[in-house]
Structure 1
Amino acid sequence: MTLHQQSIAVYRTRLDTLAALLTKAESHPKGDALLEAKLAEDMHPLATQVRFVANLPGEALPRLTERSFTSREENATTLAEAKAQIAETAELLDSIDPDELVGTEDTIVLDLPNGMQFTMTAEQYVREWSLPNFYFHLTTAYALLRMAGLEIGKADFMPHMMKYMTKGPG
């Protein structure tokens, strides 16, 4: 499996998942107010979770390609704006050619704002850091919407599996 298949392709399909969840959320009685929902007082609200999901693939690009990326600093205030953030990142990912990515064994140095530094291969970076962070915020966004009463289930979180279905329920 190529680094593109392990990273860019995964980010891309899961961005579609979040966009579809937010489309469903637009019909929820709370509407845009859902963006303020939190699972716990010390956690970020849905708007921040969405911003992180939209930013994380781009934040990986300077490490995985020669592209630069500037993270969004502001949360969306409407579900439409949140979907636009996701669409912008999806468009960026669609423009990446698999040949742009570094080799799986290339060294990545990850410097965190708290002074910690990690050195790993590009494949380890994707597997151990980038994708787990991405999924954490995607799953948290799903959980926030579900907690708010949005009628969603596992099929809404994993629609990418439908292309592999060979037999339906029943």
Structure 2
Amino acid sequence: MSYATSARQAFIDMLGTLDHLAGRAEAAGMTDDVLSEKLTEDMFPLELQFRVAVNQVLLALNQVGGAEASLHEAPYRSLADVRHGIALARAQAERFGPAGWAEADETVDLTLPNGVRFVMSAEADIRDWIMPNFYFHVTMAYALLRKAGVPLGKMDFLPHMKRHSRPRPA
């Protein structure tokens, strides 16, 4: 399986997780004020955890996926906005199939806003930069919603695993 096939499916699945988490917050009666929740003062609030996770997918599509996707710069103002942003990113991930992605060894030259520069292969960009950041922010969104009182369990982090569920052998 190519890095592109694997990454794309992970993005689609975990964007589904983010949507599921936001939906669980809505179902639990959370107000949009939950978006300001933080684990500690020096960490991003929930809104930015959602937005950065979504933007990691869009950044990947821009860097190696053959897309020209605009990053979500404006803060999400509501859980409905969060879900809309997730849906837009998921549609982008679904639209740009692995065939259009850069070859695994193609060079990616990434300069961060703070001036730090990374030069790596497309595969390394996804494996070493995008995926760890993506999963970090998805995990922080989960943790912040748990902290806020949304009843979440492990399967809420992995709802896509239902497609692999089978009855126990007799």
TM-score by structure 2 length? Answer: 0.93
Secondary structure, counterpart of 2:5 in structure 1: helix
State the distance in 1 between where 2:163 and 2:66 align.
32
State the distance in 2 between where 1:90 and 1:33 align.
25
Aligned counterpart, 2:9: 9
- 1:76 and 1:82 in contact (8 A); partners too: yes
For 2:135, the aligned partner's letter is Y
- 2:66 and 2:96 in contact (8 A); partners too: no
- Identical amino acids, percent of aligned pairs: 36
- 2:67 and 2:96 in contact (8 A); partners too: no
Q: Please, which runs of 5 or more residues in structure 2 have no aligned partner?
A: none
For 1:166, the aligned partner's letter is R
Deviation readout 1:99-134 (Å, 9 max, x if unpaired): 100111111111112222111111111110000000
Deviation readout 1:128-156 (Å, 9 max, x if unpaired): 00000000100000000001111001010
Secondary structure, counterpart of 2:68 in structure 1: coil
Q: Please, which runs of 5 or more residues in structure 1 have no aligned partner?
A: none
How far residue 65 of structure 1 moved from its aligned partner, in angstroms, is 3.0
Q: How does 1:93-108 map to 2 (within 5 A)?
A: 93-108=93-108
Aligned counterpart, 1:43: 43
State the distance in 1 between where 2:75 and 2:121 align.
32
Aligned counterpart, 2:125: 125
How far residue 80 of structure 1 moved from its aligned partner, in angstroms, is 0.7
- 2:109 and 2:119 in contact (8 A); partners too: yes
Deviation readout 1:6-47 (Å, 9 max, x if unpaired): 211111110001101111101234321111111111111111
How far residue 167 of structure 1 moved from its aligned partner, in angstroms, is 4.2
For 1:90, the aligned partner's letter is R
- 1:6 and 1:126 in contact (8 A); partners too: no
Secondary structure, counterpart of 1:26 in structure 2: helix
Aligned counterpart, 2:66: 66
> Cα RMSD between the aligned structures?
1.4
- 1:3 and 1:103 in contact (8 A); partners too: no
Aligned counterpart, 1:25: 25
State the distance in 1 between where 2:163 and 2:28 align.
28
Moved over 4 A (4+): none
Aligned counterpart, 2:87: 87
- 2:54 and 2:86 in contact (8 A); partners too: yes
1:113 paired to 2:113? yes
Aligned length: 168
State the distance in 2 between where 1:119 and 1:18 align.
30
Aligned counterpart, 1:149: 149
TM-score by structure 1 length? Answer: 0.93
1:53 paired to 2:53? yes
